[in-house]
Amino acid sequence: MSLILAAAAVAALTVLAYAYWDRIKQWIETILADRVERVLGYGARKRLHHVVSIADKTARGIRNRVYVYVNKITGKGYEKMEEKRLDDISVVEEDIIKEIDEKGPIIQEFKYEE
């Protein structure tokens, strides 16, 4: 029974840390980093910043994967993306402009698969 409670507590703390990661990261990089630098020196502050950067990259990757997975399950987005932008028409060759006029806009479709 205590193992189940411990697992539930770890899961709850993980969810809270994930939900408030930006605030936690800001607190670590400002308040905690200042105190670490005062006590242990600038090198320790640099190492702390490095560790926080790695954790932030990991959290961002997890957040992006969860976002894509949830959108895939709910059927939102990622099936057709459309880009309608042309920087400067004077740079584009005449053949390409003629082809666009004949066929209509160019649409590239991407499909996300895991």
Question: Domains of the chain: which residue ranges?
Answer: 2-79
Residue for token digits 């400067």? 88
CB 112 within 8 A of CB 68: yes
Q: What is the pLDDT of residue 39?
A: 95
Instruction: For residue 63, give the nearest of 9, 109, 20 by alpha carbon.
Output: 20
Position 105, amino acid: P
**What pLDDT, on a 0 to 100 scale, did the predictor assign at position 52?**
92
Residues of the chain below pLDDT 70: 70, 72-92, 106, 114
pTM value?
0.53
Reading the block at residue 89, the tokens are: 């028409």
Report the pLDDT value the prediction gives residue 45, as an integer from 0 to 100.
94
d(CA 69, CA 109): 19
